[in-house]
A and B are shown apart, each in its own frame.
Chain A
Amino acid sequence: MSSISPARISAISYYLPSTELTNEQLNELFPEWSVDKIMNKVGITSRRVAAQHECTSDLAVQAAKKLIEEYQLKTEAIEFLILCTQTPDYFLPTTACLIHERLGLLQSAGAIDINQGCSGFIYGLSLAKGLIASGEASNVLLITAETYSKLLHPEDKGNRSIFGDGAAAIYIHGEQQGGYIEKIVLGTNGTGAPNLIVKNGAMRSQKTGDKTLHTNEEGNPYNDNYLYMNGAEIFNFTLESVPLLVNKVLEKNKLTLEEIDLFVFHQANKFMLDYLRKKIKIPTERFFVYMAHCGNTVSSTIPIALKNAFIEGKIKPGSRVLIAGFGVGYSWGGTVLQF
């Protein structure tokens, strides 16, 4: 029997579209929304927005090209492409096939999309690890890419202040270099589906001509043609699930909180992250936050933060990093990266 090769993250790059949406611009659109307040509570000063004709595959290709150039990777070595997105270019074909073509990958390379949100990076790692462990592929390119801005109602100031568009490309291989993906914990609770949803536009419910932003009984803005988020319920979900997730990841990997050098959570918003950090009792210096200039980029928040933690020297050879993603679905996942 051949031995199972460990899967490691060896490289991360990311791409943000050039158009910026600053707090000052939001303040002009919504005068009741103060610039300082957005920064203090949400922790974001500006976010990037894809241009009208700039789609997920465009961001994904840019991120992948940066990765290939920065780390001098050979496209012919890529045996599998996984794209994680909830905003594909088309219903079909699979957006990963479009990216495969534009990157010039070998025809023998597999390419699939997975539809997952804030937990998507962890799910992508889990699948890549499985492909490598089974021997189906030696080198996997995982791309996380979203254009959530296209799902937001123009008057939805809350969500427009949080979400930003972007893409990250991650190279995962079986060689002895990079961050080893330790044991992974995943979870799902579909009862949360109505709390973060774009109801119209797919098969169950067609888009309508309604363009008005309504307010529901709980005070949340909604229009079923656009993204709806019940912030209170999502927050309750994270308060219940994230501390448990962290404990399970530690338990499964036979580690304690003290043995983790850095915690990198899905960058939802500053207030939520601060509260979770305090609740789980993680010291500030071991908790990495990176969202001020890009916002919540959904499945790309963790790889973007990891990249910047590297640049800032917070992750070094030997570092043990706990990552945790959680959100829409509800869906969650976490693991430890051993560098």
Chain B
Amino acid sequence: MDKDQFLQAFAEQFDETDLSVFTPSTKFKELDEWSSMVALMIIAMVDENYNKKITGADLREAVTIEDLFNRVHAK
């Protein structure tokens, strides 16, 4: 899964946020729709596609979607 595919899969977890909002530099925790439930869906998406675990610390430290992509790829 490259960065674009990750971005798309990330965006698919949101129901109400317009797709155009999602870029690698989007500060995802500042999105109105970001919630603990969306966090679970992102964790599930990464588990399904990468068989890797995003921790609470990853979510705390990653600011942009690209940060999170890099963290997943470094695991």
Contact = CB atoms under 8 A, between A and B. Distances in A.
A271 B36 CA distance: 12
Interface residues of B, number: 20
B35 A232 contact: no
B7 interface: no
Interface in B10-65: 15, 29, 32, 34-37, 39-41, 43-44, 47, 53-57, 59-60
A232 B40 contact: yes
A236 B37 contact: no
Interface string A231-251: 111011001100000000000
Contact of A41 (B32, B37, B55, B59): B37
Contact of B47 (A230, A231, A239): A239
A231 B54 CA distance: 12
B37 A271 contact: yes
Given A231-B39, A232-B59, A233-B56, A219 B15 contact: no
29 contacts: A32-B32, A37-B15, A41-B37, A42-B37, A158-B35, A158-B36, A195-B56, A218-B57, A219-B29, A220-B36, A230-B56, A231-B36, A231-B37, A231-B40, A232-B36, A232-B39, A232-B54, A232-B59, A233-B56, A235-B40, A235-B43, A236-B53, A236-B54, A239-B44, A239-B47, A240-B53, A271-B40, A271-B41, A271-B44
Interface of B: 15, 29, 32, 34-37, 39-41, 43-44, 47, 53-57, 59-60
